[in-house]
């Protein structure tokens, strides 16, 4: 059975959000990002966002503020309320937060985990119950959210693991370095004296 069921489909990219009173399907592909689906059980209004980073954007420095968790959640909630929904009737489903790039280390390696933690903490603080979740792991997810029924179809995307690019490039770089010629440095003090 098709996850679209003959409904209009809206595809979300990173930093986007969308909600509708009319039956529609919102789809997105999630790796370390998190998608939060919100559904008003009484008015049957649903929406979803695609969060790249936890936290809040500096409104004075960034144009695409919906990439950040706090902004993405507030924008989605406000859109649902403007369409006639009520915050007290909202329930949530949370997806994504995978560790899809094994070569990454440090804070980048934990980005998916940080996004998931943010989503659950934000929803708890706002008293929005999480009725379902599929998070973590190593595989990206393609999800299809039905705005009128709160149904979500999820398809795991096989993640191919490639050897780290640096590993096979190191011998090539070492060869090129050994062939390097002499280096000539320019004396900037002479340029200043000559007025250049």
- Residue 118 is part of a domain; what is its CATH number? 3.30.1330.200
pLDDT number for residue 110:
83
Return d(Cα 17, Cα 26) in angstroms, integer. Answer: 9
User: Cα(first)–Cα(last) distance of the chain, in Å?
Assistant: 73
Spell out the alpha helix ranges (H) of 1-110: 69-82
pLDDT on residue 31: 93
Number of domains into which the chain is organized: 1
Query: Does pTM top 0.85 for this prediction?
Result: no
pLDDT score, position 196: 42
104-153 pLDDT, tens digit each: 555 556 889 999 999 999 999 999 999 999 999 989 999 999 999 999 99
Residue 159 lies in a domain: yes
- Residue 110 and residue 155: Cα distance in Å, rounded? 23
Residue with tokens 């009128």: 148
pLDDT of amino acid 156: 93
Give the domain range for residue 83: 8-163
Q: H-helix or E-strand containing 17?
A: strand 17-20
What secondary structure does DSSP assign to 138-179, as a single string?
SS-EEEEEETTT--EEEEEPP-PPPPPHHHHHHHHHHHHHHT
- Express each pLDDT in 46-103 by its tens digit: 999 999 988 776 655 555 667 889 999 999 999 999 999 999 999 999 999 998 876 5
How do residues 34-57 score in pLDDT, each as one tens digit? 999 999 999 999 999 999 988 776
pLDDT confidence bin for 183, thresholds 50/70/90: low
How many Å apart are CA 30 and CA 143, to the nearest integer? Answer: 8
171: pLDDT strictly greater than 90? no
Residue whose C-alpha is closest to residue 129's, from 119, 138, 143, 115: 119
């Amino acid at each position: 059975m098709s996850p679209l069921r003959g409904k209009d489909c809206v595809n979300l990219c990173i930093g986007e959000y969308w909600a509708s009173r009319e039956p529609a399907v919102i789809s997105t592909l999630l790796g370390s990002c998190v998608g939060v689906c919100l559904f008003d059980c009484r008015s049957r209004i649903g929406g979803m966002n695609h969060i790249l980073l936890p936290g809040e954007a500096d409104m004075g420095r960034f144009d695409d503020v919906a990439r950040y968790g706090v902004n993405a959640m507030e924008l989605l909630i406000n859109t649902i309320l403007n369409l006639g929904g009520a915050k007290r009737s909202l329930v949530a489903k949370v997806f994504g937060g995978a560790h899809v790039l094994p070569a990454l280390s440090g804070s980048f390696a934990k980005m998916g985990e940080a996004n998931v933690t943010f989503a659950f903490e934000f929803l708890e603080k706002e008293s929005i119950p999480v009725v379902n979740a599929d998070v973590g792991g190593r595989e990206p997810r393609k999800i299809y959210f039905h705005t009128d029924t709160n149904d979500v179809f999820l398809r795991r995307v096989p993640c191919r693991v490639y050897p780290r690019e640096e590993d096979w490039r190191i011998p090539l770089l070492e060869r090129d370095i050994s062939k390097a010629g002499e280096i000539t440095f320019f004396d900037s003090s002479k340029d200043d004296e000559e007025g250049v």
